[in-house]
Amino acid sequence: MTLPLVFVHGGATVFKEEYHASILEAVKEAAKTGLAALTKGGSALDAVESAIWILEETDLFTAGRGACENLDGEIEVDAMIMDGNRLDSGAVMAARDIIHPISLARFVLERTPVMQVAGNGASRLYDVMIKDGYRTEVEPRRTSNIPIASENDTVGCVAVDEHGRIAAGSSTSGWPGKLPGRIGDSPIIGSGVYANEIAGTSCTGKGEQILRVVMGRMAVAYIESGASVQDACDKAVRVLRDRTTGEGGLIMADKEGNLGFAFDTPHMPIAIAKDEKVSYSSMIPSLTEL
C-alpha cells in the first residue's frame, strides 16, 4: 500500500446535481493540498488541517463559509482533529462566527491542556489563537445561503504520513435550523472522529444516530479485532442502519495505507490523494472503481 496518503469526504447526504462538479473539484483540491503538506515534510495533523481548511473555505458544504444558521439565525460550528499515535485530540463545539474551526480545534490540541472547548469559551480561545499568531485572522464572511445539500453535510479527512502515523478530523455546522447549542457527533471523540496507532476514521450523517453507536470508535475496534478496513466500514454502517434510524457514512485508513469507506446515502463525495496525485474521486464512490 502507498504512503503517505490523504482521504477526504464532503458529507454523506444528497447534493443538488448542478453542484456535483464543483463539489468534486473541492474534495480533490482538499486532498491534493493535504498531500502537499505531507510531501513537504508536514505531519498527518498538518495534512488533515489543511485539507479541511480548503473545504471550509468554499461555500459548498454546511461547514466553514457555507455553514448554516440555527433556529435563532446564529451560526454555530463544530470541529475536531485527532492525532492517533498520541491518542490526543482537540475539539470545538457550538463556536460562533468562525470560518475555520478546524484550526481552532488544532489549537486546543496543541496549545491547551484540555480536549474540548464550547460556546463562548471557544470564541475567547479563538481570540487568543489569533493574538498568539498561531493562525491568521480570516474575514468571517459567509457567501452562501443556498441549500446545496438536502439537509446536512460535514467535511472530514483522514491522513497517514510516510511512517504510518494517522490523524483524522471533521468540521460542520450540523444542519439548517438546528436547536441553538446543539452539538452532533462530529466534534465528539469516538463518534464523528477517531484515530489511534492502528487506524483512523471520519464519520458523517445523522449525528444523533452516529452518537448512539459511537460509530468511529466502533469501526476502529473492528480493525483491532481483525477485520479489514473495508469490512470495518461496512459493519459500522450496517450497525448504524440496524440499530438506529441513522443514515450516514465513513471513510477510514489504517497505518499501512489500506482504505475503506461505506455510506447508505445517495452521495458521499470523496477524494484520495497518494503517489503525488489524486488517485480517485467520486460523488458516488464505488469499491470496484477504487
- Asked if residue 153 binds ligand ASP (CB under 6 A), the reply is yes
- Asked if residue 154 binds ligand ASP (CB under 6 A), the reply is yes
- Asked if residue 11 binds ligand ASP (CB under 6 A), the reply is yes
Q: Considering beta carbons, is residue 153 or 161 the nearer one to ligand ASP?
A: 153
Q: Residues in contact with ligand ASP, total (CB under 6 A)? A: 15
For the four alpha carbons of 102, 263, 201 and 281, in that order, the dihedral sign comes to negative
- Asked if residue 171 binds ligand ASP (CB under 6 A), the reply is no
Out of 204, 244, 265, 281, point to the residue binding ligand ASP (CB under 6 A): 204
Q: Considering beta carbons, is residue 50 or 265 the nearer one to ligand ASP?
A: 265
**Contact stretch for ligand ASP (CB under 6 A) within 79-87, 158-166, 201-209, 279-287:** 201-209
Q: What is the CA radius of gyration of the chain?
A: 17
- Asked if residue 89 binds ligand ASP (CB under 6 A), the reply is no
Quote the strand ranges of 43-184, DSSP E: 76-83, 88-96, 116-118, 155-160, 166-172
Instruction: Give me the helix-helix angle, 101-111 and 119-131, nearest 10°.
Output: 80
Give CA–CA dist 238/241, Å, rounded.
5
- Asked if residue 174 binds ligand ASP (CB under 6 A), the reply is yes
Asked if residues 201 and 189 have their Cβ atoms less than 8 Å apart, the reply is no
Retrieve residue 89's grid coordinates: 485530540
Q: Is 5 helix (H, G, I), strand (E, B) or coil?
A: strand
- Asked if residue 260 binds ligand ASP (CB under 6 A), the reply is no
Rule CB under 6 A: which residues touch ligand ASP? 11, 13, 152-154, 172, 174, 184-186, 192, 204-205, 207, 210
